């Protein structure tokens, strides 16, 4: 520091008797310069990095993109102050002020990063306080004492030492790796979704596999950073894995079944399927189950194994076009040619009915009370439901039949009596009510 005093004296700058004031002024000046440089860097590069991150992460950029300018500002100030701190042997007061500014900026940076990656507020606050305390302790020369105290607080379990320092190291490493996994996951997922060479099922499969690979890599990186020896846990790990294998065989089976479903693309997100009593469109294919949303808004979670082992009716496997059959009865006394024409008109006027293939109408049988037709139409949006299409066409057919006096019959019977019992004819003439019992069913014998 004598060089600085000599330089200021040569410039004719009067120095106070108490040099602590000079050390304090130098510390605040360095912090002010660092804040100014951080503001300039964040304004010059922040918007570009924010736009780049939004392009890379897409919709998943929410959170980090809104805080990226603040993160760059505090990171820039922290770097400038760290360089200034280690570049020269300052007075104690100068080191304290620079260390405090550096710690505050690093704490704010840690807070914004943790909140942007989805952690709770208390985790961000704890990480920020710990970061500030760590940097400030290093600035006043007490970091080694702090680590020594933290290491002494612990217990010995056999040959293993479990200390507060080790637990904090594990927690910080896990926190950092989790944040990195979340950020990498967003970038990779958005890149997969933007790929035009993959269909939706392949994108979903690639996304799931990428997530597994990222988690596995992060796990082994964390093990390597912490220096954990896995060979000592080999025996217990094998026994634990065996127990997990028996206890989670259904879960593993559903996982493998889900991967197979995504690979062979027999069921894809957006398909309209029927499994047992569940009918709806596939919302997503998860690790354990497939989510199906029905027309009434209910979401059914069907295990992947069921879709692999049981019969599944996929309405949109090779094409979204689905034929709907609508039975209609017409009276025997009606003009059948006119009825046929009106039914086709009603089908054609419906909004969701396709013109190619054209609607068809056929006589399927001569029933007891009506001539039974089957109106066959095609739609290409089965996820919109089938009952509403039938209802719309039934209403149109009813209005057209009513307009042209075509009767839709209902079951009725004509009773012919050859011999009247004595006194019954007179009773009928007098308006008496006569109940006629149904004849017994003929016996098969």
| Dist. CA 76–CA 312, nearest whole Å | 58
Domain's final residue, options 296, 314, 332: 314
Give the residue numbers spanning the domain of 340: 322-403
Q: Are residues 271 and 398 in the same domain?
A: no
**Is 184 within the bounds of a domain?**
no
Average pLDDT, the chain: 75
Q: Are residues 43 and 121 in the same domain?
A: yes
| Dist. CA 265–CA 258, nearest whole Å | 10
Residues 6+ apart with CB under 8 A from 33: 80
Residues 6+ apart with CB under 8 A from 247: none
Band (394; pLDDT cuts 50, 70, 90) = very high
Band (445; pLDDT cuts 50, 70, 90) = very low
Structural domain total, the chain: 3
Neighbours of 104 (CB within 10 A): 20
Q: Which H, E and C letters describe 222-257, residue by residue?
A: HHHHHCCCHHHHHHHHHHHHHHHHHHCHHHHHHHHH
Rounded to 5 degrees, what are φ and ψ at 15?
Answer: -110, 140
**Is 218 within the bounds of a domain?**
no
Tens digit of each residue's pLDDT (9 = 90 or more) over 276-295: 778 888 888 777 788 888 87
Q: Are residues 46 and 108 in the same domain?
A: yes
**Is 278 within the bounds of a domain?**
yes
What is the rounded average pLDDT of the residues 249-273?
Answer: 77
Q: Are residues 354 and 258 in the same domain?
A: no
Q: Are residues 29 and 133 in the same domain?
A: yes
Rounded to 5 degrees, what are φ and ψ at 379?
Answer: -130, 160
**Is 186 within the bounds of a domain?**
no
CB 44 within 8 A of CB 93: no
Residues of the chain above pLDDT 70, percent? 70
Residues 6+ apart with CB under 8 A from 295: 279, 280, 385, 387
**Is 272 within the bounds of a domain?**
yes
Q: Are residues 29 and 51 in the same domain?
A: yes
Q: Are residues 59 and 98 in the same domain?
A: yes
Pairing of strands 313-314, 299-303: unpaired
Q: Write down the residue that tokens 């996994």 correspond to.
A: 181
Q: Are residues 300 and 337 in the same domain?
A: no
Verdict on whether the full-model pTM lies above 0.75: no
Instruction: For residue 290, give the CATH number of its domain.
Output: 2.30.30.60
The DSSP annotation for 54-106 comes to HHHHGGGGTTHHHHHHHHHHHHHHHHHHHHHHHHS---HHHHHHHHHHHHHHH
Q: Are residues 105 and 124 in the same domain?
A: yes
**Is 65 within the bounds of a domain?**
yes
**Is 200 within the bounds of a domain?**
no
Half-sphere exposure of 437 (CA within 13 A, CB side): 3
Q: Is 426 helix (H, G, I), strand (E, B) or coil?
A: helix
Instruction: For residue 375, give the CATH number of its domain.
Output: 3.30.70.100
Which helix (H) or strand (E) segment holds residue 192: the answer is: helix 164-194
Q: Are residues 310 and 330 in the same domain?
A: no
Q: Are residues 308 and 335 in the same domain?
A: no
**Is 359 within the bounds of a domain?**
yes
Tens digit of each residue's pLDDT (9 = 90 or more) over 21-71: 677 777 888 888 888 888 888 888 777 776 766 666 555 545 566 677 788
pLDDT of residue 147: 64
């Amino acid at each position: 520091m004598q060089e600085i005093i000599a330089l200021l004296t040569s410039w004719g700058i009067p120095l106070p008797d108490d040099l602590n004031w000079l050390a304090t002024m130098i510390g605040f000046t360095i912090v002010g310069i660092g804040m100014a440089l951080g503001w300039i860097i964040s304004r010059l590069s922040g918007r570009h990095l924010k736009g780049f991150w939004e392009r890379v992460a897409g919709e998943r950029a929410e959170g980090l993109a809104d805080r990226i300018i603040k993160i760059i500002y505090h990171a820039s100030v922290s770097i400038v102050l760290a360089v200034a701190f280690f570049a020269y042997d300052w007075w104690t007061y100068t080191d304290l002020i620079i260390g405090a500014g550096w710690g505050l900026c690093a704490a704010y940076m840690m807070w914004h990063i943790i909140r942007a990656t989805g952690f709770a507020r208390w985790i961000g606050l704890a990480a920020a306080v710990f970061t500030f305390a760590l940097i400030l302790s290093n600035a006043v020369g007490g970091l080694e004492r702090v680590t020594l105290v933290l290491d002494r607080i612990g217990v010995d379990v056999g040959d293993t030492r479990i200390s507060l320092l080790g637990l904090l190291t594990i927690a910080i490493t896990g926190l950092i790796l989790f944040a990195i996994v979340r950020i990498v996951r967003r970038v990779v997922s958005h890149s997969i979704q933007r790929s035009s060479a993959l269909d939706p099922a392949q994108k979903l499969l690639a996304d799931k596999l990428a997530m597994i690979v990222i988690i596995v890599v992060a796990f082994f990186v964390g093990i390597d950073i912490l220096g954990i020896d896995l060979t000592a846990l080999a025996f217990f790990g094998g026994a634990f894995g065996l127990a997990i294998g028996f206890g989670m065989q259904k879960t593993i089976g559903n996982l493998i079944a889900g991967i197979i479903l995504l690979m062979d693309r027999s069921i894809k997100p957006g398909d309209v399927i029927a499994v047992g009593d569940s009918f709806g469109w596939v919302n997503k294919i998860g690790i354990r189950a497939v989510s199906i949303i029905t027309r009434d808004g209910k979401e059914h979670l069907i295990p992947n194994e069921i879709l692999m082992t049981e019969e599944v009716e996929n309405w949109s496997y090779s094409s979204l076009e689905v034929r709907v059959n609508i039975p209609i009865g017409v009276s025997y006394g009606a003009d059948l040619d006119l009825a046929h024409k009106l039914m086709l008109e009603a089908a054609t006027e419906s909004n969701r009915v396709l013109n190619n293939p054209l609607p068809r109408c056929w006589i399927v049988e001569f029933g007891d009370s009506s001539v039974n037709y089957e109106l066959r139409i095609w739609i290409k949006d089965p996820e919109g439901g089938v009952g509403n299409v039938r209802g719309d066409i039934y209403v149109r057919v009813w209005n057209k039949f009513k307009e042209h006096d075509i009767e839709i019959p209902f079951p009725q019977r004509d009773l012919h009596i050859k011999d009247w019992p004595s006194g019954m004819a007179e009773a009928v003439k007098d308006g008496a009510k006569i109940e006629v019992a149904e004849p017994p069913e003929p016996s098969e014998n």
